Amino acid sequence: MSITRRAALAAPALLLAARAGAQGGAAANFPNRPVRIVVPYTPGGVSDITARLMAEPLAAIWGHPVPVENRAGADGVIGTEVVARSAPDGHTLGLVSVGHPVNAAFYRLPFDTLRDFSFVTQTTATPLVLCAGKGFGPNTPAELVAHAKRDPGVTFAGTGGVVRLAPVLFAQQTGIELTYVPYRGSTQAHPDLIAGRVDIMFDTVPAALPHIQSGSLKALATTGTKRAPQLPDVPTIGEAFLPGFEASTWGMVIAPANLPEPVLAKLNADCVAALRRPEVVEKHRTLGAEVVTSSPAEIRAFTESEMRKWGEAARKAGIVPQ
């Protein structure tokens, strides 16, 4: 009986040791084949470029190819589901944008935004710029609010995600009404914005910058926590008018849920190392994006906060997931 009792007492410790050994072995053997990065958007965007910039140094670190696979569709939902349904062994990653938490406000998703994923690291942060055609009267956020209160009917161009919800949040926090005009993308919206057929747009800095530099669009403010390096003379909305206002696009690396902790730790360390390479940082700077890295816990918490922030803005605006 004493032997049986000792065995029973030892069993939990043996089980924990076995699990720890298995997880350690998983990390030691990772990766043992190519690691694919699924980008749920079309080629050429910041997420796609980030994935390709990371792929080369990661392949050198791991000794295995790191192919980038574009699986676009449904505002990123299709490719993100591919990641969610993949084996939780670290050999399938996803590189998603702020659309990952924001999509929960617009769609009935085939996965749970938090529960079905492991969060590896943030990759980038890119502020938006509040811009308008040069013929639009207001030149600052304060003038815009005064104009909208005096003459309701100001329209904004939106392309979905945070580009649509940033002006919604701005309107809610300033007590004005803005009318949404939908567009499929920035390139479709810019001609109408320049011509004055739509009044304002909260667009990404990289998308709007060429038109601002040419003088066909003017920048009223940016939306980051600090001024955009590409527009150093343009104040943020927070410093110029509305303290605490912030709206950015950003990227992160995700993986399927239930990744072994040692594998997740290795992925974080190696992805952060790849992102911090000087040439990778500089390339992102030329795109108007800042490399930002984090721990798995930090990026999970940030994703949760973004879901709350944009979900609340969408609900107040009467947006119902479809």
Query: Can you give the chain as a three-state secondary structure string?
Result: CHHHHHHHHHHHHHHHHHHHHHHHHHHHCCCCCCCEEEECCCCCCHHHHHHHHHHHHHHHHHCCCCCEEECCCHHHHHHHHHHHCCCCCCCEEEEEECHHHHHHHCCCCCCCCCCCEEEEEEEEEEEEEEEEECCCCCCCHHHHHHHHHHCCCCEEEECCHHHHHHHHHHHHHHCCCCEEEECCCHHHHHHHHHHCCCCEEEEEHHHHHHHHHHCCEEEEEECCCCCCCCCCCCCEHHHHCCCCCCCEEEEEEEEECCCCHHHHHHHHHHHHHHHCCHHHHHHHHHHCCEECCCCHHHHHHHHHHHHHHHHHHHHHCCCCCC
Quick one: average pLDDT of 189-196?
Answer: 96
pLDDT of 133 over the 80 cut: yes
Q: What is the pLDDT of residue 288?
A: 84
pLDDT of 20 over the 90 cut: no
Domains of the chain, CATH where assigned:
34-125+249-316 (3.40.190.150), 127-240 (3.40.190.10)
Of 55-59, 186-190, 215-219, least confident by mean pLDDT is 186-190
Q: How far is CA 61 from CA 17, 23, 189, 215, in A?
A: 29, 20, 42, 45
Q: What is the pLDDT of residue 6?
A: 52
Q: What is the pLDDT of residue 45?
A: 87
pLDDT of 85 over the 90 cut: yes
Quick one: average pLDDT of 51-64?
Answer: 97
- The residue type at 207: A
| Pairing label, strands 68-70, 36-39 | parallel
Percentage, residues of the chain above pLDDT 90: 83
Quick one: average pLDDT of 295-304?
Answer: 98
Quick one: average pLDDT of 277-302?
Answer: 95
pLDDT of 195 over the 70 cut: yes
Q: What is the pLDDT of residue 53?
A: 97
d(CA 239, CA 156): 22
